[in-house]
Structure formats: structure tokens, C-alpha cells
Amino acid sequence: MRLFEYLIGLSALWLVLATASATTTGAELLIVEQDHCPYCEKFNREIAQTYPKTVEGSRAPLVRLDIHKPWPNQYGSIHPASVTPTFILISDGAEIDRLVGYPGDEHFWFLIGQMLDKL
């Protein structure tokens, strides 16, 4: 029983640390998308529902931007995307990395992991 309690406590500590890490970095994952984009739709089917529930989603929450709408002021220092989907990892208002296109679910997780390692 003590081992179980220890593991529960360890899991809770890990969750607190992961959340604190996301909060202190100010990281966000921007997705620049548009209606009728087949790769945006594929991302939405394969990843979008799950992403907020993952460690990656807690480190860099997903922020959706429409390529046809004005670029929000808070992202003024980030170069706008010209292709959809484009994923732009930012931290404290600065671009860290970007992924142009959606390479499928397995490659997405690998590449986003590499991007998050740069935080």
C-alpha cells in the first residue's frame, strides 16, 4: 500500500512540475490554419482533441489563428505564416521554432517533441 501511495504522490508532483514549467516559460503552440485545408482537417481529426490532454499540450497550449484574419498584436514580433497548417512554437513572445505542414500523427509528435526540447 505504501508503494501505491508513493507512486500517486510522485505522479502528483510530476504534474505540478509540468504545469509550473508551462507557466514559467509562457510557451504557446500557434497553429495557423484555414477553412477547407485538408491537412488542417486531418490534424483536427488526428491530434487536436488529444493535444490539450498531453504533456506537450500542458507545456505549450494550442492557439488557433486563421491565416485570412489579421495577425493578433500580441504576436507582432512573429513572422506570419503563408502556408497552412503552420505550427509556431513561441515562448514569452519570441519564436522558438516552426513546423510547416502536417506530416501525420506519428511524425507530428516526434517533431513537436524536438521543438519543445528547445524551450
The string of pLDDT tens digits covering residues 50-103 is 999 999 999 999 999 999 999 999 999 999 999 999 999 999 999 999 999 999
Task: Look at residue 21 and tell me whether its pLDDT is greater than 50.
Answer: no
Task: Look at residue 116 and tell me whether its pLDDT is greater than 70.
Answer: yes
CA 42 distance to own-chain centroid: 16
Q: Which domains does the chain have, with CATH numbers?
A: 2-116 (3.40.30.10)
Please, what sign has the CA dihedral across residues 103, 104, 107, 108?
A: positive
Q: Which long-range contacts (CB under 8 A, 24 or more apart) does 61-66 make?
A: 61/22, 61/27, 61/28, 61/29, 62/28, 62/29, 62/31, 63/28, 63/29, 63/30, 63/31, 64/30, 64/31, 64/33, 65/30, 65/31, 65/32, 65/33, 66/32, 66/33, 66/34
Between strands 27-33 and 62-66, the pairing is parallel
Task: Look at residue 7 and tell me whether its pLDDT is greater than 50.
Answer: no
Question: CB-based burial of residue 65 (10 Å sphere; 0-12 exposed, 13-18 middle, 19+ buried)?
Answer: buried
Task: Look at residue 12 and tell me whether its pLDDT is greater than 70.
Answer: no
Cell representation of residue 35: 477553412
